């Protein structure tokens, strides 16, 4: 048991810490990411009001169109909702979409890559053929189509993104698997009588883990961006307040014309920061990945 | 009673080249490397057999065929009179309990994420041996002890990168023997180790083979090592057997021109040694040859005759179990 | 008169963990027309010795001391420009796996031209080709092969091509690092015969580094035994094999099986080589030596003359003769 903890520390924590120490950007982005997660988790405690709460003044007037003030740091919407609270709650759909889609992409892509690479032959041909078909599908148009057809909801977006983006992960993972399969310790397992299941999941998969994580973080960035885009186009969920939704509302009520920069700039920045930090974390995984890929 | 533990009948393994689309359309026959070419022989229980040859001769492929890492292209392999050539699934898994392999490179044979305990215990888990964790732990510790990784408690928690090459190889041996197999293929078991450590592993193997009543097939390019370890020797060239016999006999009295060249070429740690002249030229061909009707050694043989190019060499049994595949010995005598 | 005289060479590597004392006071002598062997196992520093002679070292390596005399001049005092006149022209090096270092997209003939360019005096292409043909025939390769690419050569042929390349400027000395280790035994035999032929026909000196003492027994005049960054013993080949005095030499001999020899048990030397990061103050071999006495742990024995031409670094060498037969026999695992 102690050995398992020690090995966790050595294999997962330490390489990460080393990379974070060297790469300042990765460090800052990791901290940013953690801040976003904490914001999402503790939103009800942090946000001064509910995201859809219509604020009414003491004398019964709707507090709409307010510019930033001490009471409402980012002002209010035409409907009288607190923009800051919306911003804070907006981190939730972003992260939910990002993390779920990322996991989905990583899972499907890894499984396809593992089975394709390990078994080879006909299965490999079929799976890669399917992957190639998916590559031919244009991303955003399909998302929009699906959103329009199946109705707008956060889950639809997650599924759509996961359903498409795994294709990016499958081929590189398959390549890795092809190489690992020939490593002697896999043959050693085969001679001992290991089942293909064992060879795949006990011997090969753990070495694929860094690559899967890389694609998970990249997909996370894409998913967040996609959700924002779709919501901005008005095809997203109208019940959930996401940053994209905020931009949509801002656009609809011509916030730019009014100079209500406090409404459309903060969500834009948040999207930028969150997506950037996902990509940056993914990039720093590449740094850890390269020595692992080399078998060190 | 002398028991044949392994018997091989007309065994071949061909590694095919992938054909280009043009070749498939034109209907060209698939070509490949004949790594093992129509081999037949048997191994007696308790024997220490040495398979010797230069690189690319097919000896490793033969070893991997016997432990079913590869499937034969044609021919059959019998283990204790049962045909194991086409086994699948559970029956193949059961076969694996009886035959094991010791791999050449201790630096790549161990999963870097496994502790020595995990590594040696894995076969037990795969075959569901041992009623509980405690029993398995005892078996693993016993094995670690046997291979000299003492104290077992200390070594069982270590990872491969924490051990030296010699220690890793001992772990490889421990894992191979934990299921108490009957037949072991040792593929260059010491070639990746420093010279001063080689004897350690080899002596260990010899001792354990005795103790556990194992039959061992050693594969090596090092004739001197094979002579030290084995009582029977087989000389392989391009997938074919050229000579078989008692080790001392074959080395002191090599019959096949290739064996004679091999024996003459081996350097000896004695500066005053009088070497015989190596009479063959050239090197092992690197490009796969077209299958020819005659002997595969015609290109390099100093005694080649016209019959050698037309007919495959006969199997000639010289007295004492010494067998040579060569036209020079038709009728049991040397004709030069 | 020695052609190459290495005196007390010290080459260390700076690593994140500290200073690795890879070569720690090594002295070697190579006379004109001699083949000298440097034997040792992996990590003993022998490759670093070769690299130090021609000063082709890794960035983190530093020659901390000693002198390397070539034809009377100390090479360590020469600047890089002068060293360039030495490399290939006076002393050639064939590093380990040199045959894999041949440029795969360049015809062999062009690789000769590359070598020729290291000399400032421009040789006309025709002369270079002529020289290449001459060298190829010396190593038994058909001159038509000059137009081929490395992948068309077998391992043995590549090694011969490398030897031909190293002879381009007719150097006085060639340094070879494991020249035959990767080759099959019959090809190995051919190459060793060629090396011996070179020695006779061109009166060239050769320093061969390898772990295989059987190979050294076949072609060397003198052999140095290296361990843990230091020289343990040096003697003429015959003398070394008939009368080894250092326990490591004895252990090494007993680890090599003799194809025709008597049926004695092969031994292995227990323990591991010492860490060169923090080497012990005493003899480097002390931890594995069956004869070690307390003195061995305290202070490193100096090289002493046992006989003419036979030097050994061991406090007990005089008694070894009697103990030799029993050496290492108790420990076989």
> Is B227 close to C218, i.e. CB distance below 8 A?
no
- Domain, as residue range, for C70: 2-90+171-326
pLDDT digits (tens, 9 = 90+) for C264-301: 778 888 877 888 888 888 999 988 888 888 989 999 99
User: What would the mean pLDDT of C303-323 be, rounded to a whole number?
Assistant: 87
Q: Which helix (H) or strand (E) holds B77?
A: strand B74-79
**Contact, A240 vs A91, CB < 8 A?**
no
Pair B321, B245: CB distance under 8 Å? yes
Neighbours of chain C (3+ CB pairs under 8 A): B
Q: What would you report as the CA-atom Rg of chain B, rounded to the nearest whole angstrom?
A: 22
CATH of the domain at C217: 3.40.50.300
| CATH no. of B4-332 | 3.40.50.300
Residue B143 has φ and ψ, to the nearest 5°, of -70, -40
User: Is A54 buried (19+), middle (13-18) or exposed (0-12) by CB count in 10 A?
Assistant: middle
Question: Please, which pLDDT band fits residue C255 given cuts at 50, 70 and 90?
Answer: confident
The CA distances from residue A185 to A4, A190, B112, in Å, are 20, 9, 9
**Core vs surface per residue B307-317: b (16+ CB within 10 A) or e:** ebeeeebeebe
Distance from CA of A188 to the nearest CA of B (A): 6
Name the residue with higher pLDDT: A26 or A225.
Answer: A225
Q: B148: alpha, beta or left, given left = phi > 0 and alpha = psi -120 to 50?
A: left
Question: Which structural domains are found in chain A, ordered by start?
Answer: 90-293 (1.10.3720.10)
> What strands, in cross-sheet order, belong to the sheet with B232-237?
B99-102, B183-187, B215-220, B48-52, B232-237, B240-246, B322-325, B315-318
Cα separation, A158 vs A160, in Å, equals 5
Lowest mean per-residue pLDDT among A123-127, A183-187, C310-314: A183-187
Looking at residue C325, the DSSP 8-state letter turns out to be: G
Q: What Rg do the C-alpha atoms of chain A give, in angstroms?
A: 23
Helix (H, G, I), strand (E, B) or coil at B131: coil
Q: What percent of chain B has pLDDT over 90?
A: 50
Q: Measure in Å the smallest separation between the Cα of B253 and chain C Cα atoms.
A: 11
Domain spans of chain B, in order of start = 4-332
Neighbours of A66 (CB within 10 A): 19
Interval A224-261: pLDDT, tens: 988 888 888 887 777 888 898 889 988 888 878 888 88
Distance of alpha carbon A221 from alpha carbon A95, whole angstroms: 10
Number of H-type helices and E-type strands within chain C: 11, 12
Give A24: exposed, middle or buried? Use CB within 10 Å, 0-12, 13-18, 19+.
exposed
Residue with the bigger pLDDT between A277 and A72: it is A277
Q: Is residue C285 part of a domain?
A: yes
Helices (H), C44-119: 46-53, 80-86, 108-116
pLDDT value at residue C143: 86
Please, what is the end-to-end C-alpha distance for chain A in angstroms?
Answer: 25
pLDDT at B177 over 90: yes
Distance from CA of C273 to the nearest CA of B (A): 10
What are the tokens at B55? 């690189």
Using the predicted structure, report yes or no on whether residue B97 has a pLDDT greater than 90.
yes
Q: Using one digit for the tens of pLDDT, what is the confidence trace for C140-198?
A: 888 888 999 998 888 888 998 999 999 999 999 999 999 998 888 988 998 999 899 88
pLDDT at position A291, please?
A: 60
Sheet containing strand C61-70, edge to edge, reads C18-31, C2-15, C61-70, C73-74
Segment A199-224 shows an average pLDDT of 87
| Predicted pLDDT at B240 | 92
Q: Which residues are bridge partners to C11 per DSSP? A: C23, C63
Q: pLDDT value at position C10?
A: 95
Asked whether residue A8 carries a pLDDT value surpassing 70, the answer given is no
Q: Which residue of A has its CA nearest to B180?
A: A192
Does position C135 have pLDDT exceeding 60, yes or no? yes
CB under 8 Å to B258, separation ≥6 — which residues? B235, B237, B242, B243, B280, B297, B300, B301
The token pair that represents B5 in the structure block: 């533990």
For chain C, the domain total comes to: 1
Q: What is the reported pLDDT for B288?
A: 67
Tell me the two tokens of residue C8.
């007390």
**C320 and C300 Cβ atoms separated by less than 8 Å:** no
Residue C331 forms part of a structural domain: no
Tokens standing for B144?
Answer: 């670690």
Mind listing the pLDDT tens digit for each residue in B244-278? 999 999 999 999 999 999 999 999 988 998 898 88
Q: Is C179 on the interface with B (CB under 8 A)?
A: no
Instruction: Write the CA distances from B38 to B11, B31, B234, C239, integer angstroms.
Output: 5, 16, 15, 49
Token pair for residue C242?
């008939």
**What digits encode the pLDDT tens for the residues B232-248?**
999 999 999 999 999 99
Residue B161 pLDDT greater than 70, yes or no: yes
CA atoms within 13 A on the CB side of C46: 27
- Give the whole-number percent of chain A exceeding pLDDT 90: 24
Is A194 close to B126, i.e. CB distance below 8 A?
yes
Q: Tell me, what's the pLDDT at A3?
A: 53
Angstrom distance (rounded) from CA C82 to CA B26: 62
A5/A219: higher pLDDT? A219
Report yes or no: C185 at the B interface, CB cutoff 8 Å.
Answer: yes
C34 located within any domain: yes
Cis previous bond, B151, omega within 30: yes
Output C324 or A39, whichever has higher pLDDT.
Answer: A39
Question: Smallest CA–CA separation between B203 and chain C, in Å?
Answer: 7
Host H or E run for residue B229: helix B223-229
Average pLDDT for chain C: 88
- Select from B200, B211, B172, B149 the least CA-distant residue to C333: B200
Helices vs. strands in chain A: H and E counts, helices first: 14, 0
3-state class of B159 per DSSP?
A: strand
Is residue C59 classed exposed, middle or buried when 0-12, 13-18 and 19+ CB atoms within 10 A define those classes?
exposed
Residue C77: CB atoms within 10 Å: 9
Cα-Cα end-to-end distance for chain C: 45
HSE-CB of B173 using CA atoms within 13 angstroms: 31
- Nearest CA among C151, C150, C161 for reference residue C194: C161
Q: Say if B148 is an interface residue toward chain C (CB within 8 Å).
A: yes
The beta-carbon neighbor of B126 closest among A185, A198, A206 is A198
Residue B287 is predicted with a pLDDT of 67
Contact in structure between B217 and B51 (CB atoms under 8 Å): yes
Q: Of residues A40 and B21, which shows the higher confidence score?
A: A40
Gap between the Cα atoms of C116 and C126, Å rounded: 12
Cα dihedral: A234, A237, A240, A243 (round 10): -40
Question: CA distances (Å), A128 to each of A115, A132, A170, A172, B300, in order?
Answer: 11, 6, 8, 11, 47
State pLDDT tens for residues A127-172. Answer: 999 999 999 988 878 877 877 787 767 787 788 888 888 998 899 9
For an interface test with B, give the residue of A2, A179, A184, A206 to mutate (most B CBs within 10 A): A184
Identify the bridge partners of residue B100 per DSSP, sorted by sequence position: B184
Distance between CA atoms of A104 and A92, rounded to whole angstroms?
18
How do residues C105-133 score in pLDDT, each as one tens digit? 999 999 998 888 887 777 888 888 999 99
Q: What is the pLDDT of residue A256?
A: 80
CB pair distance less than 8 Å for A192 and B100:
yes
Q: Residue A1 above 60 pLDDT? A: no
Query: For residue A64, what is the DSSP state?
Result: -
Q: How confident is the model at residue C332 (pLDDT cuts 50, 70, 90)?
A: very low
Largest Cα separation within chain C, whole Å, is: 66
Best probe of the C interface among B144, B207, B269, by most C CBs < 10 A, is B269
Provide DSSP, C153-217: S-HHHHHHHHHHHHTTT--SEEEEESSSTTS-HHHHHHHHHHHHHHHHHH--EEEEEES-HHHHH
Task: Extract the tokens encoding A296.
Answer: 């060190």
Interface A–B counts its CB contacts (< 8 A) at: 54
Tens-place pLDDT, residues B37-76: 889 999 999 889 999 998 888 899 999 999 998 999 999 9
Please give the Cα distance from C22 to C11 (Å, whole number). Answer: 6
- Cα angle for residues B235, B238, B240 (degrees, 5° grid): 55
Least Cα separation, residue A241 to chain B (angstroms): 45
Cα separation values, C157 from B210, B236, B279, C96, Å: 43, 23, 18, 16
pLDDT bracket for residue B88 (50, 70, 90): confident
CB A241 within 8 A of CB A92: no
Is residue A143 within 8 Å of residue A228, measured between CB atoms?
Answer: no
- Cβ distance B54 to C184 less than 8 Å, yes or no, reads yes
pLDDT band at C53 (very low <50, low <70, confident <90, very high): very high
Asked whether the predicted pLDDT for residue A295 surpasses 50, the reply is: no
pLDDT at residue C79 tops 60:
yes
Residues in chain C: 333
| Strand pairing class (C2-15; C18-31) | antiparallel
DSSP state of A56: B
Q: Given an 8 Å threshold on Cβ–Cβ distance, is B100 in contact with A195? A: no
Comparing alpha-carbon positions, the chain B residue that sits nearest to C217 is B271
- Given a cut of 60, is residue A7 above it in pLDDT? no
Q: What is the DSSP string of C247-283?
A: HHHHHHHHHSPPSSS--PPP----S-PPPSSS--SS-
């Amino acid at each position: 048991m102690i050995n398992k903890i020690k090995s966790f520390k050595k294999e997962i924590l330490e390489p990460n810490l080393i990379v974070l120490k060297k790469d300042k950007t990765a460090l800052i982005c990791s901290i940013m990411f953690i801040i976003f997660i904490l914001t999402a988790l503790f939103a009800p405690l942090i946000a001064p009001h509910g995201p859809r709460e219509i604020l009414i003044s003491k004398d019964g007037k709707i507090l709409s169109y307010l510019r930033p003030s001490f009471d409402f740091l980012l002002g209010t919407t035409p409907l009288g909702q607190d923009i800051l609270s919306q911003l804070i709650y907006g981190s939730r759909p972003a992260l939910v979409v990002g993390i779920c889609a990322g996991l989905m992409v990583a899972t499907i892509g890894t499984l396809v890559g593992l089975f394709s690479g390990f078994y080879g032959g006909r299965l490999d041909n079929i799976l890669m053929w399917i992957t190639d078909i998916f590559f031919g599908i244009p991303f955003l148009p399909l998302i929009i189509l699906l959103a329009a057809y199946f109705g707008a909801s956060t889950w639809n977006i997650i599924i759509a993104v996961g359903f498409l983006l795994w294709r990016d992960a499958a081929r590189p993972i398959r390549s890795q698997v092809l190489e690992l399969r020939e490593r002697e310790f896999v043959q050693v397992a085969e001679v001992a009588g290991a089942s293909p299941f064992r060879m795949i999941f006990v011997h090969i998969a753990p070495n694929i883990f860094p690559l899967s994580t890389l694609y998970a973080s990249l997909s996370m960035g894409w998913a967040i961006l996609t959700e924002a885009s779709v919501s901005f186009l008005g095809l997203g969920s109208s019940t959930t307040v996401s940053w994209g939704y905020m931009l949509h509302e801002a656009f609809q009520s011509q916030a730019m014309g009014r100079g209500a920069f406090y409404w459309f700039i903060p969500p834009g920045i948040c999207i930028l920061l969150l997506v950037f930090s996902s990509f940056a974390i993914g990039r720093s995984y590449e740094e850890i990945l390269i020595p692992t890929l080399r078998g060190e | 009673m002398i028991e044949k533990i392994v018997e091989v009948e007309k065994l071949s393994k061909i590694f095919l080249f992938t054909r280009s689309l043009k070749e498939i359309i034109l209907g060209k026959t698939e070509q490949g490397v004949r790594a093992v070419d129509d081999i037949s022989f048997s191994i007696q229980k308790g024997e220490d057999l040495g398979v010797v040859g230069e690189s690319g001769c097919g000896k490793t492929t033969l070893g991997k065929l016997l432990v079913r890492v590869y499937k034969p292209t044609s021919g059959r392999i019998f283990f204790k009179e049962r045909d194991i050539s086409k086994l699948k699934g559970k029956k193949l898994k059961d076969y694996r309990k009886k035959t094991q392999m010791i791999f050449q490179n201790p630096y790549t044979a161990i999963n870097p994420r496994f502790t020595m305990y995990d590594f040696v215990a894995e076969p037990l888990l795969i075959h569901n041996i041992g009623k509980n964790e405690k029993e398995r732990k005892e078996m693993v510790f016993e094995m670690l002890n046997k291979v000299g990784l003492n104290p077992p408690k200390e070594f069982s928690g270590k990872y491969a990168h924490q051990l030296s090459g010699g220690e890793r190889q001992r772990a490889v041996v421990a894992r191979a023997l934990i299921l108490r197999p009957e037949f072991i293929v040792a593929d260059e078991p010491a070639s990746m180790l420093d010279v001063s450590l080689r004897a350690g592993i080899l002596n260990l193997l010899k001792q354990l083979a005795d103790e556990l009543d194992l039959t061992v097939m050693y594969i090596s390019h090092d004739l001197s090592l094979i002579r030290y370890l084995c009582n029977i020797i087989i000389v392989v060239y391009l997938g074919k057997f050229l000579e078989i016999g008692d080790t001392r006999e074959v080395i002191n009295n090599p019959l096949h021109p290739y064996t004679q060249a091999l024996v003459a070429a081996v350097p000896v740690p004695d500066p005053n040694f009088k070497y015989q002249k190596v009479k063959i030229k050239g090197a092992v061909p690197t490009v796969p040859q077209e299958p020819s009707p005659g002997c595969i050694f015609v290109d390099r043989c100093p005694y080649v005759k016209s019959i050698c190019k037309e007919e495959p060499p006969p199997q000639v049994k010289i007295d004492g179990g010494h067998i040579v595949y060569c036209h020079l010995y038709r009728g049991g005598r040397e004709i030069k | 008169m020695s052609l190459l005289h290495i005196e007390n060479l010290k080459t260390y590597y700076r690593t994140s963990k500290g200073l690795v004392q890879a070569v720690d006071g090594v002295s070697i002598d190579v006379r004109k027309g001699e083949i000298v062997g440097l034997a040792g196992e992996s990590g003993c520093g022998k490759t670093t010795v070769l690299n130090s002679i021609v000063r082709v070292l890794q960035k983190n390596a530093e020659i901390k001391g000693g002198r390397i005399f070539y034809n009377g001049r100390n090479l360590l005092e020469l600047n890089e420009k002068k060293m360039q006149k030495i490399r290939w022209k006076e002393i050639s090096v064939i590093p380990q796996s040199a045959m894999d270092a041949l440029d795969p997209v360049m015809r062999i003939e062009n690789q000769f031209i590359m070598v020729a360019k290291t000399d400032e005096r421009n040789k006309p292409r025709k002369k270079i080709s002529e020289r290449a043909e001459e060298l190829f025939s010396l190593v038994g390769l058909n001159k038509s092969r000059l137009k081929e690419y490395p992948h068309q050569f077998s391992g043995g042929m590549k090694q011969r091509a490398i030897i031909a390349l190293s002879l381009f400027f007719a150097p006085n000395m060639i340094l070879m690092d494991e020249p035959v280790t990767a080759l099959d035994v019959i090809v190995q035999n051919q190459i060793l015969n060629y090396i011996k032929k070179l020695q006779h026909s061109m009166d060239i000196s050769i320093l061969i580094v390898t772990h295989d003492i059987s190979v050294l027994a076949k072609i060397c005049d003198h052999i140095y035994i290296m361990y843990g960054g230091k020289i343990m013993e040096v003697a003429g080949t015959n003398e070394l094999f008939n009368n080894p005095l250092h326990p490591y030499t004895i252990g090494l001999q007993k680890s090599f099986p003799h194809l025709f020899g008597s049926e004695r048990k092969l031994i292995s030397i227990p323990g591991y080589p010492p860490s060169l990061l923090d080497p012990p103050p005493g003899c480097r071999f002390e931890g594995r030596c069956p004869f070690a006495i307390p003195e061995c742990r305290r202070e490193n024995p100096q090289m002493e003359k046992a006989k003419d031409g036979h030097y050994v670094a061991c406090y007990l060498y005089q008694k070894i003769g009697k103990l030799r037969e029993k050496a290492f026999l108790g420990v076989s695992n």
